[in-house]
Structure 1
Amino acid sequence: MQRANRDDREEEIEAAAYRLLEEHGFAGAGMQAIARAARASNETLYRWYGDKTGLFRALIMRNASLPCAALEQAHGRGERGLAVLRVVGPVLLTMLLSDRAMALNRAAAADDTGELGRTLAEAGRQACAPKFGRVMQEAQATGELARSRDGCDVLPRDLAELWLTLLVGDLQMRRVTGAIPPLTAEEIGLRNARALDDLSRLYPPADADPPA
């Protein structure tokens, strides 16, 4: 099967998996049911994904790839430092709060093996944080953020963790429990802008005016 055709079939299979996950939960989204819903053979699903856990791992990895792709595209356009995060932040937050992400979080909670939860962690902050750390290093190199504060070095990874905390906060928990509705694109953009403003105020470069 040609790569383009396989990509199309994978999208159809994964869309069917999300539908069944939404309708029947993780326990009811079995390989045979997904194959029927996607009009694919059982053999195809097992050959491509191995088993149910492998299929849901693929869903997690595809979903988590969106902000990484946006980061690479921003770098490809020559953007560096905080300019990258102005683009990537909304993509990241949109992905984390999407219906698909909520479905995957619920699936991980229902997975008795714990493997999906580990995959979520590995594909989430553990995978993205080093890349965001390099972006923070760029921001320090271009004079957008402080290299040191109170006589101590400011580590790029700490800046990345702080930005992620400012950006995401407890929104994922509130979304997955139904406490809040999906955020609009405008709300997500404002949230990212506020997170970057707070980060810049907390760690201004040495020659900047002190925060008010």
Structure 2
Amino acid sequence: MREDTKAARRAQIERAAYKLLKERGYGGTSMLGIAKEAKASNETLYRWYGDKKSLFKTMVENNARTTKAALDAAIRDEADPLVTLEEVAPILLSMLLGERAISLNRAAASDESGELGATIAAGGRDSVFPLIEKLIQRGLESSVLAAPSARIAADWFLNLLIGDLQIRRVIHTLPVPSDKDIHSRVVAATSAFRKLCGT
């Protein structure tokens, strides 16, 4: 199968998984159900993803891919940490408040096994947070930033940026934010972070 055809099929499978996740929750979503919804064979799903947990981990990682790529590039190119955080913030916030992340988190909240929540943490925060921490560490070493530690500063940054917005989206008390809302939040958060940690 050609790579572009395979990528299109994977996208179709993941759309089917999100649809069933929203309708049935994590426990009620099976590999067979996803295969039927995507008009794919069950064997294909198991061959490509291994099992349901791995499929959802791939979905979480795909959702975080743009944020991670921007952070990886900034670390590799030794870009200015504060400028990078300002550039990455709208990408990260849009992703975290977008329908895919919210669907995953809503399903995780009702998954008593905790499996989906652990999968989201592993493919999301646990892979993005260390990159933000590494970027901030470089800022501390070059005296562009000042904080008790890179970990604490990374926590401050994420708390200023996200706050309770994602949980409010999960519990249906906040609508999908507009580009203007995202921009306003990013400006306020990064300005506060500069005041808190900038030198």
* Normalised TM-score (structure 1): 0.84
Task: Judge which range, 46-55 or 86-95, deviates more.
Answer: 46-55
Cα distance in 2, alignment partners of residues 204 and 18 from structure 1: 40
From the superposition, tell whether residues 130 and 77 of structure 1 become closer, same or farther in structure 2 (CA, over 3 Å): closer
Task: Judge which range, 2-11 or 95-104, deviates more.
Answer: 2-11
Partner of 1:5: 5
- Answering whether residue 183 of structure 2 is matched by residue 189 of structure 1, we say yes
Q: Which amino acid aligns with 1:89?
A: A
The Cα offsets for residues 20-75 of structure 1, whole Å up to 9 and x where unpaired, read as 22233334432222112211111101222222222222211211223101223445
From the superposition, tell whether residues 47 and 68 of structure 1 become closer, same or farther in structure 2 (CA, over 3 Å): same
Structure of higher CA gyration radius: 1
Cα distance in 2, alignment partners of residues 167 and 34 from structure 1: 34
Partner of 1:208: none
Cα distance in 2, alignment partners of residues 184 and 10 from structure 1: 28
TM-aligned CA deviation for residue 136 of structure 1: 1.2
- Answering whether residue 80 of structure 2 is matched by residue 86 of structure 1, we say no
Cα distance in 2, alignment partners of residues 49 and 76 from structure 1: 30
Partner of 1:203: 197
Q: Which runs of 5+ in 1 are unaligned?
A: 148-153, 206-212
TM-aligned CA deviation for residue 131 of structure 1: 0.8
Equivalenced residue count is: 199
RMSD of aligned C-alpha atoms? 2.1
Q: 1:159 aligns with which of 140, 144, 153?
A: 153
What are the residue-to-residue correspondences of 1:16-35 with 2, within 5 Å?
16-35=16-35
What are the residue-to-residue correspondences of 1:91-130 with 2, within 5 Å?
91-130=91-130
Contact map agreement 2:75 2:135 (CA 8 A) in 1: no
Cα distance in 1, alignment partners of residues 197 and 71 from structure 2: 22
- Answering whether residue 40 of structure 2 is matched by residue 40 of structure 1, we say yes
* Higher RCO structure, 1 or 2 (CA under 8 Å, sep 6+): 2
Contact map agreement 1:80 1:138 (CA 8 A) in 2: no
Cα distance in 1, alignment partners of residues 52 and 112 from structure 2: 13
